[in-house]
Structure 1
Amino acid sequence: MDKLPEIVELLDESGIGLADGEGLLDERERRILIGAVNFHALARPGRTFRITVLRGPRGTMPSLTDDRTRHIEWGDDREVVGSLVVRSTVQTTSGTNPPEGLVDLAVDLGGEPEVASAYHQLPGLMGKVRRSVRFFAPVQFDVLRQYRTDVTEKRYRKREVPKKAPVRITRGTTATGHGATPAIIFGIHWLELGGAERFALETVQLAKEAGFTPIVITDRPSTHPWITRPELDGAIVVPLTHPVSPEQESAFLNGVLSAYDVRGVHLHHSTWLAQRLPWLKSIRPDLPVIDSLHILEWRTGGFVDISVRMTNVIDHHHVISPMLRDYLVGKQGVDPAKVELATLANLTTKGIGQAAAKAKSDDGPFTVAFVGRFTQQKRPYLFLQLAASLKGSASREIRFIVHGDGELAGEVHGLVSRLGLSDVLELRGSDKPVAKTLADADVLVISSDNEGLTLTSFEATAAGVPVVSTDVGSQASLVAEDLLVPRHPYPFISTAAERIRTMINSPEQRKTWLDEQAGKAAAFAKLPDARTWVRDTYEGWLK
């Protein structure tokens, strides 16, 4: 349980348990409320706040920093949990007196986390049609999506991303002083399960170990189930909810810069913070900026395009795969000296360069596994269609493990029954370790329609398990060439099924493919390690 940050003084509360956690809120809600208090304390130094704390129905999003917090009226479905009075202990601008008067706020913590597909939220008649097609015919719907991706990818490859003009200032103007505590600002998408988020929290931990206070800012609507993670103990977490008024945005960032001795900025898929880098650089041109990038998104350009646009105010583009490095340098003309390739090969494994094939016996069923979130990107429904194909065509007993959870959980459970897989397929959740699934598996299948370079590929390699993967992102950097299969649904099913049947019938060929995969892993192990590079960079910021 994390303590109340020093930037806030608790004056009164109605049994909420903000300070000690022994009250009306669970730990996730308590930390979300502290995050809201952090924002207002930094945006309005010295002010006293009376906060009415609301709770919404299950699945509703929090309202913590947006304009709605100023309203003293709320929806009929909102429960009043209690109220508290806090004072910001952040020092005001030099030469001014602390402002007077009580500020009333209504902070809505939202409801219990509920996983729901974005398709469930599509409005109107067209939304209803898309939902119906998507959930009754997911494979056919995906066929249309992939053809659309082909068109957008072809168009995308031809264009150059425009770049923001550089900030030419070499010395910023000093409006306020700064605190004595060294800090790093982190921009993070949200505090939910994900590969980028897993690495982001790893860097937060590295910052603490180096002697920094992490200032963690999230910018996407979420109930933040990961806000209770131990990596965030001692961090100043601020979950933004939008729209935040422009004057509040600058006041908040000024509050951070004045309350702490900020030594750097590290972005992890944060649109809001990326778009405010030119302003930050205009007042603090000495502030080093890292942007960590994981995946190229053909449909929208995504965070990679945002990073290219802001390259003139970013000091280091950290990329986790050769494919991203080549795209930034070769296609978008980013200065090669600014692009740092440092991989996540050993983020969740140890000794990937020494991976060895797992001995297999002809006894017992051949086991095919899927490990990942149940999302549109990961396409678990395609794995289930593959399983149905293999069930009827394998030359020996076969079984399947699907390990994960997410917004398509209902669809996954329904398809298992509809496809007649209940007797050969086991569903596993977060209560089981992924290592156990990989220990049980003969092959891992990655059915995603887009990736950067999956952590599960590294984990499977370390466990001696060959990977059959769609040929997306930088998966070719690790997966054996013959085991890279088409992204389009029906070619994916037929090609993946053929490769797996070959493994079943020829253990020698399975070993050959795994040896190729292990060789690529050994080459990857020689590349710079992201954890080491980040640690060295942070230590340099302390000097």
Structure 2
Amino acid sequence: MKTLNVGGAEVLLVERLLVARRRGVNRGVSYTVICLRASTDELIERLRSAGITVIDLSAWPRSLVYARLVSTVRRIAPHVLNMHSPAPAIVLRPFLRFAKGRPALVSTVHCERWPKTMYLDRLTRGLDDRTVAVSPQVARSRAVIGARHVLTRMHGVDVGEQSRWAARASAVRREFGVDENAFLCACVANFRPQKNHSMLLQAAGEVVRTRPDAVFLLAGDGPLLDDITREVGERGLGGHVRVLGPVPDARRLVAAADLLVLSSHYEGLPVVVMEALAAGVPVVSTEVGGLPDLIISGRNGLLTEPGSPEALARAVLQAMEPRTHRDLRAGALASVDSVDMAGTAEWFEELYQDLARSVKA
């Protein structure tokens, strides 16, 4: 994986490996996770504590890091190589596809977005043995053009862990200084342009004018963190909106919330949404990416048109109505089985074993 930060794709990978370890579905299998850089030790420590090897190439200069990546993979000589980022995949595929004793090549596509690297990714994607899309929406997108064998597997989260955090919601709310009578809206998303936090602040301003008991907590890291923090003050929202910055194990904040709110321009299949549903927390979000594959508007959350702070504010206020909130929370709890990572861990293990045997043959 290109990065090993606390982001959606990274968390999906780490959660799957940890669930597989705990449930013993990968006996006799050893994993090595390679990243080109890591801005936090949180995920690395979680992997290593489970006996999973992590190789961080951050110390290598950019001009040499891809050569080091190729040599590292060749040295490890894996039976299966699962690539989770386009840039490393573009480099690795040609070097490994025709090598003697080559590994089976799998790419997991986490987002339907079409960045510049996708053009080169498209040219080399046909070298993969399998391509796995994380949602039906991604499987229908341009992000998988050129793939020969596309499979779809919605991932999930550790449902048991989220249930335990939900049971401790009162303690978590006290930790973050949230009054027990407040209506807590959480947004856990890195501060990047595609997350559109400015629109969320506009919507929050509309919400608190009608519901002064609303509190918005924004957690995450990223290049726009300072900008959004300043904007909160400029909009006079300091009493209702707090920018927390990076929060270790932020899923506990999601489980303690009354509502998860996202304002993204685009998404793949957000891990934070699965964490919310696993804890029985309804979701209000823009209707982008794989969100419609998880959220049925009116049942376990509400989806709004992208780019409209007014629509987002209306949806949040609707979800805050006592009867509506009760119904949406019940719908979120009924969605738990659809976001359980355990089945996905077993599915990937079977895929890896089948591919390793077919390539060896």
| Aligned partners of 1:266 and 1:291 also within 8 Å | yes
Distance 2:70 2:283 in 1: 45
Matched, 1:443 2:253: no
> Please, which of 240, 243, 250 is the counterpart of residue 63 of structure 2?
243
Q: Matched residues in 2 for 1:383 and 1:369: separation? A: 11
Q: Deviations over 1:185-232 (max 9, x none)?
A: xxx1123221212234456766996443626252xxx56433982325
- Equivalent in the alignment of 1:195: 8
Q: What's the counterpart of residue 507 of structure 1?
A: 322
Change (3 A) 1:315 1:392: same
User: Residue 275 and residue 333 in structure 1: after superposition, are their counterparts in 2 closer, same or farther (change >3 A)?
Assistant: closer
Match of 2:239 among 416, 423, 438: 423
TM-score, length of structure 2 as denominator length: 0.76
Give the secondary-structure state (helix, strand or coil) at the position aligned to 2:227. Answer: helix
Determine the C-alpha separation between the residues in 2 that align with 1:535 and 1:473: 26
CA distance in 2, matches of 1:465, 1:227: 24
Task: Please say if residues 343 and 529 of structure 1, whose CA atoms lie closer than 8 Å, have aligned partners that are also in contact.
Answer: no
In structure 1, distance between residues paired with 2:71 and 2:249: 43
Tell me the equivalent position of 2:206.
Answer: 389
Secondary structure at 2:108 match in 1: strand
What is the distance in 2 between the residues matched to 1:423 and 1:376? 24
Which segments of 5 or more consecutive residues in structure 1 lack a partner in the other structure?
1-187
- Does the alignment pair 1:262 with 2:92? no
CA RMSD of aligned residues (A): 3.9
Mapping for residues 33-52 of structure 1, pairs under 5 Å: none
Closer/same/farther in 2, CA of residues 470 and 519 from structure 1, 3 Å limit: same
Percent identity for Structure 1 against Structure 2: 21
Q: Does 1:486 align with 2:305?
A: yes
User: 1:343 and 2:154 equivalent?
Assistant: yes
Task: Compare CA radii of gyration and give the structure with the larger one.
Answer: 1
- Equivalent-residue separation in structure 2 for 1:517 and 1:349 (angstroms): 12
Q: Deviations over 1:279-316 (max 9, x none)?
A: 32122374200111110114x3655x555432321011
Change in CA separation of 1:498 and 1:237 when aligned onto 2, cut-off 3 Å: closer
Q: Which one has a larger percent helix, Structure 1 or Structure 2? A: 2
Pairing partner for 2:113 from 288, 297, 308: 297
Provide the residue aligned with 1:126 in structure 2. none
Q: 1:212 matched to which residue of 2?
A: 30
Larger RCO: 1 or 2 (CA < 8 Å, sep 6+): 2
Q: Report the count of equivalent residues.
A: 333
Contact 1:295 1:324 in 2 (8 A): yes
* Partner Cα separation in structure 1 for residue 268 and residue 230 of structure 2: 29
- Amino acid paired to 2:277: T
Structure 2, unaligned runs of 5 or more: 170-179
Contact kept in structure 1, 2:278 and 2:335, CA below 8 Å: no
Code of the residue aligned with 2:105 in structure 1: it is V
Of 282, 286, 298, the match for 1:470: 286
Instruction: Check 1:302–1:457 CA distance in 2 against 1; reply closer, same or farther (3 A cut).
Output: farther
Report deviation, 1:424: 2.2
- Note closer, same or farther for the CA distance 1:420–1:372 as it changes in structure 2 (3 Å cut): same
Offset of 1:445 from its aligned partner?
Answer: 0.6
Kept in 2: contact 1:193–1:226 (CA 8 A): no
| Cα distance in 2, alignment partners of residues 410 and 277 from structure 1 | 38
